Amino acid sequence: MSSQDGEHRWWHGAVLYQLYVRSWLDTDGDGYGDLGGVIARLDYLSWLGVDGIWLSPTMPSPDDDWGYDVSDYLGVHPDLGTMDDMDALIAQAGQRGMRVLLDLVPNHTSSAHPWFIDAAGSRDSALRDFYVWAGPGPDGGPPNNWLDATGAPAWAWHEPTGQYYLHNFLPSQPDLNWWEPRVHSEFAEILRFWLDRGVAGVRIDVAHGLYKDAQLRDNPPEAGDAPMAGRFGLQSVYNANRPQTHGVYRDWRRIADSYPAAYPGARLLLGETWVADPDRLAGFYGDDDELQLAFNFPFVFAALTAPGLSGVVAETLARLPAGACPVWTASNHDVGRFPSRWCGGDERKTRLALLVLATLPGTTVLYYGDEIGMTDVRVPPELQQDKMSRGGGNGWEGNRDRARTPMQWDSSPAGGFTAEQVTPWLPAGDTAAVNVAGQREDPGSVLRFCRDLISLRHAEFDGQIGSYQVLPAPPGAWAYQVGRLTVLANFSGRPVPCHDPGGPVLLSSTGAALPAGPDIVLAPWQAVIARSADAGG
């Protein structure tokens, strides 16, 4: 029996908050956000009501991929702060009842990591097998047809040792070889190191990756034009998504479960599971012995329509193992911001999407700025920082910098992110139109609405995944019951009548009163939360 049996799993019904540290708040005047800025705004996050903070990469890195190219797994990036800052952040968040999750990158390292420097020394280097090396293919070129995240060959020729090494991302991000037992041992110690410091868990980058096909077989052609069917004409069958990866998470889950239930409570493994198949997604939960949460990217890429979103939710819940906790998000540092992608900047749609996110069973994850309706920012080429997608090409839907711009705290040109005389690392968006200061004092703002949603979620779902039942709804609408709540959502540009839930309306996305009558008439892009008829007053 694990230490978690019968113990409150704090992420059930919780709201997690992805915080891109470099863009949160600059407290040392260098134009980059830092851990001191996270500490300075903990009271804001507590006021908002979030339960846990997922920090974007905080470990030392040359920043070719802004922290996702790690050069030291046991440190803190000097641009962001010190280990003392990290300890203070964990402690002060805990004093406010919030947990801290770190971003862990086990698929690859930086080419500046001491492991790779040793491995590249010679074919006989002690750590050579920490990485994936191969000789040329029959034509003298790369070993197979694998492509990296930019669409270029995923193999870099290493002249000094006469072999290629694999990089599913940038050439400066060599992939680790998880067939090597010593890699497992190193990451077990890395995980323990951070959990011992009071980290409540980790978000696992490229959680579907890790193992690569031992035979290095060619990837097959993509399966169509549906979202996530493939990229650059190929499916990632052999350079990721290998079944052996599940053994890693069973090992990590045993480590996580070995920690005492005292605060911060059960340790959480949250996976970036970039898979389209709901059965494959369900597989990452295992028999409640792998990840406790696995990101649902089909939901992220679904259309903002009633059948689009409700279909993914229904299929997901039907496939997950009994007792598994789904997790829902709509924005992140890679895919962009949902107020742009889904809503086109339409505040009605943004409020509707927030209401749905806050009422689905399981765990909700917000991206910094979602709560004020921040949109993607056009970053001109000369100011772009992201090497993976610079220029908006290479298959990306726009440069990833668009969703990594500074948090908009106030209406000043830099949005209160940094001192007036300092140039932020990325340009701020329309701070005059959207900012925390202006919305915090406005009871009708998106921010106050989001805070009310989180408060209601806590009151109804605290510690519970929540039951889910689809209700009858006219075309264009989605109706469902979660626990004691009924949600009615109109995903169309016309008024839609819905059956009266029989209980009081607790929250409306528009804030407007509903027309009187036996049925509820939802305005275009309006959603409401009501007490279910059988739930009492």
Pairing state between β 468-471 and 485-490: unpaired
Q: Show which residues are catalytic.
A: 205, 272
Q: Are 80 and 21 in contact (CB under 8 A)?
A: yes
CA 530, 531, 533, 534 torsion-angle sign: positive
Give kind and range of the element (H or E) at residue 412.
none
Residues in Cβ contact with 210 at an 8 Å cutoff, skipping those fewer than 6 apart: 106, 107, 176, 178, 240, 242, 244, 245, 248
Q: Are 251 and 178 in contact (CB under 8 A)?
A: no
Number of helices followed by number of strands (H, E) in the chain: 13, 18
Chain-centroid distance, C-alpha 27: 25
C-alpha span between 174 and 7 (Å, rounded): 39
C-alpha span between 386 and 33 (Å, rounded): 16
Q: Are 300 and 327 in contact (CB under 8 A)?
A: no
Residue with tokens 């709540």: 485
Residue among 79, 49, 33 nearest 409 (CA): 33
| Beta bridge pairs of residue 165 | 133, 156
SS3 32: coil
Residue with tokens 């350079």: 239
Residues in Cβ contact with 188 at an 8 Å cutoff, skipping those fewer than 6 apart: 251, 252, 255
Q: Are 228 and 237 in contact (CB under 8 A)?
A: no
Residue among 138, 129, 140, 139 nearest 165 (CA): 129
Chain-centroid distance, C-alpha 1: 30
Residue among 69, 51, 50 nearest 59 (CA): 69
The set of long-range contacts for 303-311, using a CB threshold of 8 Å and a minimum separation of 24, is: 304/342, 304/343, 304/349, 304/353, 304/491, 305/491, 306/473, 306/475, 306/476, 306/477, 306/478, 306/489, 306/491, 306/492, 309/356, 309/478, 309/491, 310/470, 310/478, 310/480
Give kind and range of the element (H or E) at residue 358.
helix 347-359
